[in-house]
Amino acid sequence: MIRLRPNYHFEEDQKLLDEMRYAYHNCPAAVKYIKSLKIPEDKVEEEIVKIYDFVNDLNVCKKCPGMSLCNKDTPHLCTKIVYQDGVISRELVPCKEYLKHIKFRNQFLVRDFDDEWLTSDIRRIDKTEGRRTAIERYNEIFKTGSGEWLYLWGEAGSGRTFLAANIALDIAKKEKGPIAFIDVPTRFKEIASKKDNDQFNALIDKYSSVPVLILDDFGNEYKSDFIRESILFPILNARSKAHLFTIITSDFDINDAMTMYLTGQASKPKVEQIKRMLKKNCKQEISQGDLSIY
């Protein structure tokens, strides 16, 4: 990059200006863009320093190492030339990679997993039998549009949450959201704490209707008649009727998870109803084992 000294007088070094012109004329993308603005050649010559800033920035971005490795003085921003009323000016605008990343992150209405997982890729994760089966089922469900669910269970540390997060990330990359990836113990407690009916109903509606819902750590939430009748059942029932894709991760298989929701003889019919709903929509319960990997 050519750097100018403060208060530099261009006439002092014609060679520097020639290098700027050369850089511009040998950057087809820059020439094409400047011509699209219909900037006269004499104006380009007059403002070659501004044009050069644009060219230099364009060439740096051509070799983009990835958004997380951007080492520009103004990370994730690009120089743009604006020509209006005969005046050439420079603006800083978000780069394409940054805009793509924002669009990707905006696929998540709720994301209860760490930022460090955002760079994960489902194609690169270790394919144990359980993960391979789950990924094949996920691909089949999305290919057919069946709206069936995934139930991933296994002991803490088996990688079920990481696997579910990778599936959610893959869906976000395909722009098939919005997605809500929720930690069930935290979010069910949040819903139950709402004293205002409008706020309570808004959360129930959000999780009932979001196109993709991941219920992470299901079975470890606080259980009560209210949570079973007014939170869990309405969400699952609405999603079942609408055939909305749902992933459930748990320490427990469906039978054990639902046994813990029994609060007395009167609760048995509703628990059985929820159990049948889960088994019908999930088709199979995919064990992730107890191997601590992630």
Q: Is 107 left (phi over 0), alpha (psi -120 to 50) or beta?
A: alpha
Query: Total domain count for the chain?
Result: 2
3 is a domain residue: no
List, in sequence order, the alpha helices (H) in 26-159.
28-36, 41-46, 48-62, 96-105, 129-144
Q: Is the pLDDT of residue 294 over 50?
A: no
Flag whether 1 is in a domain. no
Classify residue 114 as exposed, middle or buried by CB count within 10 Å of its CB (0-12, 13-18, 19+). exposed
Residues 126 and 270 in one domain: yes
Q: Judge whether residue 147 has pLDDT over 50.
A: yes
**Same domain membership, residue 205 and residue 62:** no
Neighbours of 208 (CB within 10 A): 18
Q: What is the pLDDT of residues 212-222, one digit of tens each?
A: 999 999 999 99
Show the domain range for 64.
Answer: 10-98
Three-class SS state of 216? strand
Q: How far is CA 278 from the centre of its chain?
A: 26
Rounded Cα–Cα distance for residues 127 and 208 (Å): 31
Within this chain, do residues 207 and 115 fall inside the same structural domain, yes or no?
A: yes
- Least trusted range by pLDDT, from 4-18, 97-111, 142-156, 211-225: 4-18
The answer, yes or no, to whether the previous bond of 178 is cis (omega within 30 of 0) is yes
The pLDDT, as a whole number, for residue 10 is 47
Distance CA 185, CA 159 (A): 18
Could you tell me if 30 and 77 lie in one domain? yes
Given a cut of 90, whether residue 74 has pLDDT beyond it is no
Say if residue 213 is in the same domain as residue 174.
Answer: yes
pLDDT tens for each residue of 156-188: 888 899 999 999 999 999 999 899 999 999 999
Examine the domain organization and report whether 69 and 149 are in the same domain: no
Q: Does the residue 292 lie in any domain? A: no
Q: What is the pLDDT of residue 291?
A: 47
Q: Are residues 183 and 81 in the same domain?
A: no
Report the CATH number at residue 193.
3.40.50.300
For residues 50 and 121, state if they share a domain: no
111 and 257 in a single domain? The answer is: yes
Let me know whether 94 and 110 are in one domain: no
pLDDT at 292 (0 to 100): 42
Cα end-to-end distance, the chain, whole Å: 43
Same domain, 163 and 262: yes
pLDDT of residue 12: 52
Of 98, 129, 148, which closes a domain? 98
Burial status of residue 252 (CB atoms within 10 A of its CB: 0-12, 13-18, 19 or more) = middle
